[in-house]
Amino acid sequence: MAKKAAKRIGAKKAAKKAPAKKVSARKTSVKKAPAKKKVAKLVSKLEQAKRDLVIANRILAMEHVVDAYGHVSIRHPEDAGRFFVSRSLSPESVTVDDIVEYTLDGKAINDTRPPYLERFIHGAMYEKRPDVNNVIHAHAEATLPFGLTATPLRPVTHMAGAMGAEVPVWDIADKFGDGTNLLVTNRDQGLDLAAKLGQNRIVLMRGHGFSGVHANLIGLITMSVYLPVNARVLLESLRLGHVRYMSDAEVSGRGDNDPMAPAARRGWRMWAQKAGVGDLLADWDR
């Protein structure tokens, strides 16, 4: 027994001293799964136009240019004889599903939901102004005094220069009498308003609000946000005495017609994100 125990102890010591055999493991090449490419969801020009219109509604509501009332539209990007505007809904609540297509005479395309009564403003502006791609109608309180008095609304702040040097005033009573409710509820009234606008960008509506046009949506929204700001500044300035307005050269030198300019998109992006619709921005704005 003693001899067997000695042999086992000696074997263990030998095993400890013996160098461990290297096990040559065969390298197996594990192929990594190819990284998944991010597939961008393609959004058509038409779909993005509707998204932009939702963004515009939300921005105008957030900036108090419109409240429960007022509306903004965009000309159909593929058919100049049509335009998009929301169904009758407060701008703060508008979604892509609420956007309705109309002909220029105010008839909805395949949609029976209640429309805005004053959709005729938009159709008439697009009909009279082929250069226009966006229209707004709003009741911003600060602009109202200038449609009720002989004091003209003119630009005094650089951000409002896009409104143009001249802002005409339309009085519905001039052609349609003093028995209306001051609303533009038919095509004839819309065309008369558009005629008063002429080649300007803003027209005031006596006791009602204003309508405005622009070649691009970002330009329209920027102009509309700063229009009541300009009106408030002008009202305060008139209390102090002589006012120095922007010159025609200063107004025309703004160069605000490029919607892709970094400064233009900076404001558009910020407003959209603050209004909670940043996810609707075009890819290049995110």
Which residues make beta-bridge pairs with 210? 138, 204
Collapsing DSSP states into helix, strand and coil, what is residue 137? strand
CA distance 128 to 199: 9
Q: Are 204 and 172 in contact (CB under 8 A)?
A: no
Residue identified by tokens 């025309």 is: 252
- For residues 217 and 60, is the Cβ–Cβ distance under 8 A? no
Q: From first to last of its 286 residues, what are the pLDDT tens digits of the chain? A: 444 444 554 554 544 454 554 444 444 455 555 555 444 457 799 999 999 999 999 999 999 999 999 999 999 999 999 999 999 999 999 999 999 999 999 999 999 999 999 999 999 999 999 999 999 999 999 999 999 999 999 999 999 999 999 999 999 999 999 999 999 999 999 999 999 999 999 999 999 999 999 999 999 999 999 999 999 999 999 999 999 999 999 998 776 778 788 888 999 999 999 999 999 999 888 7
pTM of the model: 0.84
Please say if 92 is a catalytic residue. no
From 118, 141, 166, 250, the catalytic residue: 118
3-state helix, strand, coil in the chain (%, to 5): 45, 10, 45
Residues sharing a CB contact under 8 Å with residue 56, sequence separation 6 or more, in sequence order: 72, 74, 134, 217, 220, 221
